[in-house]
Copies of this chain bind each other. A is one copy, B any other.
């Protein structure tokens, strides 16, 4: 490689999404030290904005200095001790990953299996909690990126708390793209990523922990096995103690700038308006995709991630390669049981525009060798 010169893509996959120029400019702002008074102002600003977007008052809200999967691991590593029992709802890749991460941490994991593409009813969670009364944590995915299923969470916190457990939620794909009410829904630990509906580059994983979660962590019998992800150490840096910040690791300063700017863009648009934008363009895309003969995998689809079955006779990987090489458009393929059988089309954050809906429809029609007109008309009528 002679020189770095990345192509200009239209990112309509499962993430990352297109990063707005303002966020890229923030990313490239001058690096300051990780204990510089200016950086501490940025940290405080980011924490306040994250709380607003998580809809929480919890002080322990900050970005983990790594990608979304490290956010998952941070939540589980701090809340679980070896031998603890955890219940995980598994209806796709990311529920499966919670099982894997928790098992490696030494937890005894009970899987509540739901067919991929479906969501779980609270009655099923209740029965599982009655079967396993020793469960201390319940893990569930709000936005299952592998299937596009949108899990309702209202009331779940109350149910989980009534059984003496904590509720851990994966909101990587839904954060700032669909309603997420951490405090109202009684979520005790929630993690997300910078590169989905926030439209910052990948690399940071915002997390939040409730007072219940903090009490659980403070009552641990042994330190968290991961030094890097131990919130008791991270708090001394992110929250400070007695007005002093303790050095823990050298924070990813420029990525924090980008996260700050992306959060600022969310604030300027307003959360409700942002959710409405994601719903509106989803409706248009959905009408267009269905006009092209594509059927959705989940009964309850996320607005920002559209997972559709690939019709017989179409080579899904070849179609994606053509989208990338001829159109510069990235979409995702299926995972697990949907490998080779589904496409995952994201409309996240800055990628979620009417222009991209039509572009996706025209390009898909082209690689499917079908006329685009009907799909465009359907999108138009639905938007």
The quantity of this chain's copies bound in the complex is 2
Question: Are the C-beta atoms of B65 and A203 separated by less than 8 Å?
Answer: yes
Residues in B whose Cβ lies below 8 Å from that of A42: 1, 4, 6
Interface string of A20-35 (1 = CB under 8 A from B): 0000111111111110
Shortest CB distance A82–B (Å): 10
One of B32, B106, B203 near A254 (C-beta < 8 A): B203
Residues in B whose Cβ lies below 8 Å from that of A228: 66, 69-70, 73
Residues in B whose Cβ lies below 8 Å from that of A38: 6-7
One of B18, B104, B227, B255 near A203 (C-beta < 8 A): B255
Task: Give A238-253 interface residues, CB cut-off 8 Å to B.
Answer: 248-253
Known: A34-B202, A253-B202, A330-B33. A227 touches B104 (CB 8 A): yes
Shortest CB distance A236–B (Å): 14
Segment at the interface with B among A9-17, A50-58, A118-126, A130-138: A9-17
- Interface residue A358 (Cβ < 8 Å from any Cβ of B): no
- Interface residue A316 (Cβ < 8 Å from any Cβ of B): no
Segment at the interface with B among A161-169, A177-185, A257-265: A257-265
- Interface residue A310 (Cβ < 8 Å from any Cβ of B): no
- Identify the closest chain B residue to A33 (Cβ): B330
A37 to B36, CA, bound (A): 38
Known: A4-B260, A34-B202, A225-B104. A68 touches B27 (CB 8 A): no
Known: A19-B31, A227-B97. A250 touches B4 (CB 8 A): no
- Identify the closest chain B residue to A69 (Cβ): B249
- Interface residue A45 (Cβ < 8 Å from any Cβ of B): yes
Question: Are the C-beta atoms of A32 and B9 separated by less than 8 Å?
Answer: yes
Task: Give A183-239 interface residues, CB cut-off 8 Å to B.
Answer: 193, 195, 201-203, 223-228
**Which of A15, A27, A258, A264 lies at the interface centre, i.e. has the most chain B CB atoms within 10 A of its CB?**
A27
- Identify the closest chain B residue to A258 (Cβ): B254
Question: Are the C-beta atoms of B105 and A225 separated by less than 8 Å?
Answer: yes
- Interface residue A367 (Cβ < 8 Å from any Cβ of B): no
Question: Are the C-beta atoms of B9 and A36 separated by less than 8 Å?
Answer: yes
- Interface residue A291 (Cβ < 8 Å from any Cβ of B): no
A30 to B66, CA, bound (A): 20
Known: A69-B249, A202-B250, A249-B68. A4 touches B29 (CB 8 A): yes
A45 to B5, CA, bound (A): 13
- Interface residue A101 (Cβ < 8 Å from any Cβ of B): yes
- Identify the closest chain B residue to A41 (Cβ): B1
Residues in B whose Cβ lies below 8 Å from that of A260: 1, 4
A236 to B193, CA, bound (A): 22
Question: Are the C-beta atoms of A68 and B100 separated by less than 8 Å?
Answer: no
Residues in B whose Cβ lies below 8 Å from that of A8: 30
- Identify the closest chain B residue to A31 (Cβ): B19
Shortest CB distance A13–B (Å): 6
- Identify the closest chain B residue to A195 (Cβ): B250
Question: Are the C-beta atoms of A27 and B254 separated by less than 8 Å?
Answer: yes
Shortest CB distance A181–B (Å): 25
Residues in B whose Cβ lies below 8 Å from that of A201: 31, 252-255
Residues in B whose Cβ lies below 8 Å from that of A41: 1
Q: Which 8 pairs of residues, A with B, have the shortest CB-CB distance? A: A203-B252, A66-B66, A28-B28, A201-B254, A69-B249, A24-B28, A1-B45, A202-B250
* Chain A residues near B (Cβ < 8 Å): 1, 4-9, 11, 13, 15-16, 18-19, 24-34, 36-39, 41-42, 45, 65-70, 73, 97, 100-101, 104-106, 193, 195, 201-203, 223-228, 248-255, 257-258, 260-261, 264, 324, 330
A-B contact pairs, 7 of them (CB 8 A): A1-B45, A1-B260, A4-B26, A4-B42, A67-B249, A202-B252, A202-B253
